[in-house]
Chain A
Amino acid sequence: MQPTDVGNPDYYHKVVDCQWGCPAHTNVPEYIRLIANGRYTDSFWLNRSSNVFPGILGRTCDRPCEPACRRTRVDGKPVAICRLKRVAADLRDPTDNRLPEIPVVKNGKRIALVGCGPASLTVCNDLMPLGYECTIFEALPRSGGLMRTNIPAFRLPVEVLEEEIDMILDMGVEIHYNTRIESMKELLEEGYDAVFVGTGAPKGKELNISGRQEAADNIHIGIEWLESVHFGHVDSIGERVLVIGVGNTAMDCCRSSKRLGGIDIKVMARKSRPYFKASPWELEDAEEELVEIVENYSPKRFVLEDGRLVGMEFELVSWHEDEESGRLKATVHGTEFIPCDDVILAIGQDNAFPWIERDIGIEFNHWDMPEVDRTTFMTTREGIFVGGDAAWGPENIIWAVEHGHQAAISIHNYCQGLSLTEDRPPQDHNLISAKMGMHEWAYSNDYNPSPRQKMKHVELVRRFQELSIEVEMGFDPEQTAREVERCLNCDIQTHFEAKLCIECDACIDICPVHCLTIAVNGDEEDLRERLMAPAENLTQDLMVSEGLPQTGRVMVKDEDLCVHCGLCAERCPTAAWDMRKFELMIPYAGQEAACPTHV
C-alpha cells in the first residue's frame, strides 16, 4: 500500500466516526471533554458553531453520530452523544452571549427565504453577520417549521425551541408570518438578490383505499394532525386509535393520541421490526407508554357502519426476499378486522411545489422536484437555492442545518460575484500534540468500562396529567460524569513519524486491542489478513507508514478498534508515536476554515 496521507483533512476526520457521521461535522469529542470539565457554556457554543440548535437537537436529533460511534464496536453501546449535547444546552450560562455582532450598515444585498424551518434559519444565521438583509416568509403564525409543528412539546419544550430560534431572528431577520408564497414569479419580481426555498416536505402521504373518502372525518393525516394539535385546533381523539405507518412521525402521533384521550393505541406496521423506519429509541419510548406495535398488517380497507368509521380491515402478510430482484415480496395469509374510532396516517411525506411556476427557468425532474445541485444547492435558475427537506425529500433537522450552511456559502459567493464551486473555501485541519508530561495527556486517556447511562423518564401517570411535560428528564450530574468518560476521544489521533521508529515493538506489545503491526508491505487485501488481529471491518481504514529506517518494513494501524488510550505513545522511546489533537476546520459563508474552539 502507498503511505497514508494524514495531511489530507479527511483521513483523521474519518477516524472521528461521530464527527464524520454528523452532516454538520459537529466536533463531538471536544464538546464532550468541555462538558467533562464543567465548561457547559463553551460546549454549547462549540456545538452551536456547527449545528446551530444544540438544545433542540440535544432532544430531537436523529443522531447519525451514534450508530457510527466507535464505542459501539468496543462495548456494544454508543456514547449518549445526543443527550450530552442537551446537558451542555441545559446547563450553560444563559447570560453568556457569544453571537457575532450584526453590522448596522448593511451590504445592500437582500435575501428572501421561503419557510421558517431549520434550513432557512441556518442561512440567516450565517448571512446576517455578513450584513445581508434576510426576509423570511412563513405560512404559519409561528416560526420553526416542522421543528415546532411536528415535534410534540413532551419531546421538545416550546421555551427551548423559541430561545434558539430567537437567537437568529433577533439578529434582525425580517419575518412575515401568515404569509404563504403563492407564486415564485411574484416573489422574484420584488427584486431580491437571491431566494432560498426552505419549505420542507409539507404534504403527508395519502392512503387511497376503500372507505377513505366516506370516513374522512375520522381519518387524519399525521403531520397535519400534529400541527393542529400544536396550535390547539385539535384537543381530543377517540379511545381506540390506529396509527398507520411506523416512522418517527407515527411515534409522535401515537404518543400524542395517548395524551388526548386515546386509550387503546395501535401502531400498524406492514413489515416486521427490522424494517421499521422509526429510530429504535423512539419505538422504545412509545412502547413504554403502552402503545402496541403490530407487525405485518397491511391496510386493506376502512370499514364503516351507518356512515361512521368503525374499524379497518387488514391483510395478514409475511415477507420474503425475491430471488431475482432482491426486493421484499408479501404473501397474504388472510384478513382481520380491527375496530377503532380514529385512524392517523403516518406513512410518509412528499414535497409540493404548486407555487413555483414551471416556466421561470427552474427545471423539474420526473419526480416533479426541482433539480438542485448537490454541492451548491442552486437550482437551474441562477440565484434560486433550495435546502432542507425541500431539496431532496424528508431527512432530518441536522441535515437541514448542513444544507443551510452550504446554501449560505453559495448565496454569499453568488451575491459577491464569486464562483459557487471554485471559490468554495475548502476544509482544513489542525494537529496539536496532547502531550503534557511523561505520562500525562491533555485528555482523559484511561478506558472507562461504564455502561451507557439510561435516560430517566417522568413517570407515566404524570405524563398523562400534564400533557406538555417533557418526558426525558436529562442526565443528572452523576450520569453525566459517567457518560462523558465513555467517550474514547477519537479526535486525539495516534500520529506516527516513520523516520523516528527503531522497531522495538513496544507499541505493538502494549496495544490492548492489537491494532498495530510492523509488517512487510503488501496490497491492502493481503495486509488486512497479516495484522496482529485481522482487520475485517472494511469501512475502517488502515494507516500505513513510510518504510521504517532499520528494516524497510511498514507500521500498519487498523483504525477500527483503537481506544485512543495513548499507551503506544507512552511506550514509544523515540516519540515516533504521539497523541495529537485533530481539529477539523470548517468554512462557513464568508469565512475561511477556522477552529471554532479558538473563536
Chain B
Amino acid sequence: MGEAIVITSGKGGVGKTTTTANIGTALALLDKKVCLIDTDIGLRNLDVIMGLENRIIYDIVDVINGRCKLKQALIKDKRFDYLSLLPAAQTSDKSAVTTEGMKEIIKELKTEYDYIIIDCPAGIEQGFQNAVAGADRAIVVTTPEKSSVRDADRIIGLLEKKDIDPPTLVINRIRKHMMKNGDMLDIDEIVQVLSIDLIGIVLDDDEVIKASNHGEPVAFQPNTKASIAYRNIARRILGESVPLQSLEDESGMFKKVKKFFGIRS
C-alpha cells in the first residue's frame, strides 16, 4: 500500500511543480515506484518539466469521465520504468474533477505504487480541495519571502482541518547572500512562524531552470546543490535522518582566495 503526498503552497510560482518533479525523480532514483499526478487543470506544467509533453494521449479528466482506464492515461517516464505521470487536462472542463474522483484514482494507484506525488494548483479553491482529498500527508513549499510565508501559513491552517498527517515544510529558492545580509527571511524565522517540521531547503540554482527547460528534472544531475537538496528530501521522506544542507560551503583555500578578491559566492 503506497502513500500519497500532496505538494502545495497556496501562492503560485514558488516551485510546487518543480518540487513535485524532483522529489518524484529522487524517489525513483531510490528504487521506489512513483506516480506523479498533475491536478492543475487547464495550466498543466508537470508534463513539460518531466519532458513527457509529447506522449500525452489521455488525461485525468478522461479517467474521471470514464473515457479511458487509469492505466491507459498513465505515462511511463523515459528514464525509469517505475516512474509514471498522470497528466492534467489542458482543455477540458475544470468542474469534471471532484474530490470523490480524486480519492478513487489515488486509492487505485496506491495498490500499484509506493509513492503518489500530487502537484497541487495555486490557490485555495476547488483545485486545492481536489488535490488534497486523497493525500495521506502534505509537503508545503515556500520561499523566503513574506507573501509566500503568509500563504503557506494559510494553507497549513487549511490542511490542519483535513484528516491528514501534519504537513512538513520545504523552503525553496534560498539565496545565500541575501539571507546572510538579512534581506531575506531567515530559515529559523520561517520555521518558527509556521511551526511545522522542516523537511528540506533548496538553494536557488540556475541549474533548476535549465534542467526544467530541457525536460529533465535537476535531481538527475549528480552534484548540483539543488539536486542534492531534492535527493535529501526524498531520503527524509523515506524516514532517513539527513542533516540539512549547510548554507556555508566552499571551505578552505578556494574560499579564501575568492574572499581576497572580493568575489561573492
Query: A and B, one complex?
Result: no
- Report B's interface with A, CB cutoff 8 A: none
